[in-house]
Every structure is written in C-alpha cells, then in structure tokens.
Structure 1
Amino acid sequence: MSSPYCCPNCKTNKSRFNIIKQVPQSVKMDPHSGVILEEYTSENLSPFHMGYRGPDYRVQCGACGLVEDERTFIKFGEKN
C-alpha cells in the first residue's frame, strides 16, 4: 500500500479508497442445510480441501465503488 492508486473505472479518484481485508475461513458444510460441519485451520486441511490462495486484501474505490485487486489500482496509478 505504498504506491499511488488511481481508479481504473472512474479514472479521477486518486485519494479515497476502502481497503478490504480478506480473512478466509475454511469450512466443510452440509450440502443440504448449509450448516457448518467442520472448521479447518491451514495446518489441518483435509486432503480434498485446497487452502485459500487469493490476495490478503482488495481495494474499493471510494467514489464509484469498484472492487478489484490492489495491483489493478497500482498499475492504473502508475500510468496517470
């Protein structure tokens, strides 16, 4: 978060953003009721459960509401 941002959608916002921290929760759910049957930690994932590999946070434009990966805002900020 030490690079300048610019929104690629509205193209004018360079200062108002929401940083959305993503906290993954690995669970096993009942397919019929949606009830959580089991919670996993990153150390005890079952062999058939892939751990979360996405970004730790995403960025939302405070002007138009676009939500994207931080790299998108940084790349557009470098161009402008």
Structure 2
Amino acid sequence: MTNPYLCPNCKTNRSRFNIIEQVATPVKMDPQSGEIIDKFTNENLDPFHTPYKGPSLKVQCGSCGLVEDERSFVKFAEHNQRQ
C-alpha cells in the first residue's frame, strides 16, 4: 500500500479509498441445511479442500464504489501519471 492509486472506473479519484482485508475461513458445510459442520485451518485441510490463494487485500473506490484487486488501482495510476 505504498503506491499511488487511481480508480480504473471513474478515472479521477486518486485519494479516497476503502482498503478491504480479506480473511478466508475454510469450512465444511452440510449440503442440505448450509450449517457449518467443521472449521479448518490451512494446516489441517482435508485432501479435497483447496486452500485460499486469492489476494489478502481488495480496494474500493471511495467515489464510485468499484471493488478490485489492489494491483488494478496501482497499475492504472502507473499508466496515468500526472505530469
């Protein structure tokens, strides 16, 4: 989070953002009721459960509301630098 951001949607916001920290909780659910049967950690997943490999952060534009990976906002700012 030490890079400038620029919203790739509204193309004007460079200063107002919401940083969303994602924390995945691996669970096993009952397919009929949706009740959580078991919770796991990444160290004790069963053989058929793939660990979460997505981004730990998402960013939301404080102007238009777009939610994307942080790198989308960083890359858009890099390609549209102010002179």
TM normalised by structure 2 equals 0.95
Structure 2 equivalent of residue 14 of structure 1: 14
Q: How many residues align?
A: 80
Mapping of 1:33-44 within 5 angstroms?
33-44=33-44
Mapped pair 1:60 → 2:60:
yes
Note the residue ranges of structure 1 that are not aligned, 5 or more in a row: none
CA shift, 1:79, in A, is: 1.5
Q: Which amino acid aligns with 2:35?
A: V
Q: What TM-score results when the alignment is normalised by the length of structure 1?
A: 0.99
What are the equivalent positions in structure 2 for 1:63-78 lying under 5 Å apart? 63-78=63-78
Which residue in 1 is equivalent to 2:46? 46
Partner of 2:24: 24
Unaligned residue ranges in structure 2 (runs of 5+): none
Structure 1 vs Structure 2 CA RMSD: 0.4
